[in-house]
A and B are shown apart, each in its own frame.
Chain A
């Protein structure tokens, strides 16, 4: 069924609160439609891993948030799951990239207008 996913308009500012709201909405929509892709833009992730021995940053102009039972996305090679409105949990396929395991990051969504 074609329940329309939220389409990010380039230039539109997506605050953390808005992202969270959209996520909730889409989770509700998921139960109707089964699966949704939603496009967001210019997501910047920075953070330090839990053991403090590595930092990580990533930025993507075209991040895709996939909803398949959990809130997960890939941004700049990072695999993210959202913890709450201002925190995402990020892992990389190669643990060496982040000095081992899970990284808890803050994320901000950049207004392209600067």
Chain B
């Protein structure tokens, strides 16, 4: 888990159940061999995102790669692309994003407890605040707890 403010964000450890970066690399290699996929190391950096309370990045194949803030490896098990350069927002930026996202509804008892905890690269804090209002208004209009 990665702790942002009071929020636990899932990382590659929880998403793929890998204990370490070498474990992630090993899983990736074995998976590609099993699927007959060729590894495709990428030179461009991979830009991280938050999706439903998980740290990940979209892949151009429309798949995704799980990320860990302390690891310099990520791979898309869907297509074989991999990255050793990963760009995440700074700690200050992540804290600011968490401040806005953490007020959104969450469901600790659910398997996916934070369905609204998402941030896409390029979204500004102002965008996220506007989205908070829309979520609140939508829920109120349907008689749900805002």
Q: Taking the complex as formed, is B25 at the interface, i.e. its CB lies under 8 A from any CB of chain A?
A: no
Instruction: Assess whether B112 is in contact with A32, with CB atoms less than 8 Å apart.
Output: no
Q: Assign chain A's interface to a size class.
A: 20 to 34
- Chain B interface residue count, CB cutoff 8 Å, equals 33
- Among B15, B115, B116, B142, the residue within 8 A (CB) of A31 is B142
Q: Tell me which residues across on chain B come within 8 A of A114, comparing CB atoms.
A: 34
A contact patch SS: loop
Query: Once bound together, how far apart are the Cα atoms of A61 and B61, in whole Å?
Result: 13
Complex CA gap A12/B52 in Å reads 14
Set A1, A22, A41: member contacting B78, Cβ < 8 A: A41
Choose one: B65, B112, B116, B118; the contact of A9 (CB below 8 Å): B65
Q: Return the CB mask of A1-23 against B: 1 if under 8 Å, else 0.
A: 11110111111110101100110
Q: Is B46 on the interface with A (CB-CB < 8 A)?
A: no
In the complex, what residue of chain B is closest to A14 when comparing beta carbons?
Answer: B111
Q: Which of B73-110 contact A (CB under 8 A)?
A: 76-78, 110
Whether A10 contacts B77 in the complex (CB less than 8 A), given A32-B138, A112-B35, comes out as yes
Which of B54, B77, B115 meets A112, CB within 8 Å? B77
A-B contact count (CB 8 A): 85
Q: B48 to chain A: closest CB distance in Å?
A: 12
Whether A4 lies near B66 (C-beta < 8 A) is no
In the complex where A9-B16, A11-B66 touch, is A21 in contact with B31 (Cβ < 8 A)? no
Task: Give the CA-CA distance A28 to B35 in the complex, in Å.
Answer: 35
CB distance from A69 to the nearest CB of B (A): 16
Within 8 Å of chain A (Cβ to Cβ): is B3?
Answer: no
Residues of chain A lying within 8 A (CB to CB) of residue B65: 9
Task: Answer yes or no: B135 CB below 8 A from chain A CBs.
Answer: yes
- Contact code string B103-146 (vs A, CB < 8 Å = 1, else 0): 00000001110011010100000000001001100100010000
New A-B contacts (8) at CB < 8 Å, excluding given A2-B131, A6-B52: A7-B56, A8-B63, A9-B54, A9-B63, A11-B27, A11-B66, A32-B138, A112-B35
Interface residues of B (CB under 8 A from A): 15-17, 27, 30-31, 34-35, 51-52, 54, 56, 58, 62-66, 76-78, 110-112, 115-116, 118, 120, 131, 134-135, 138, 142
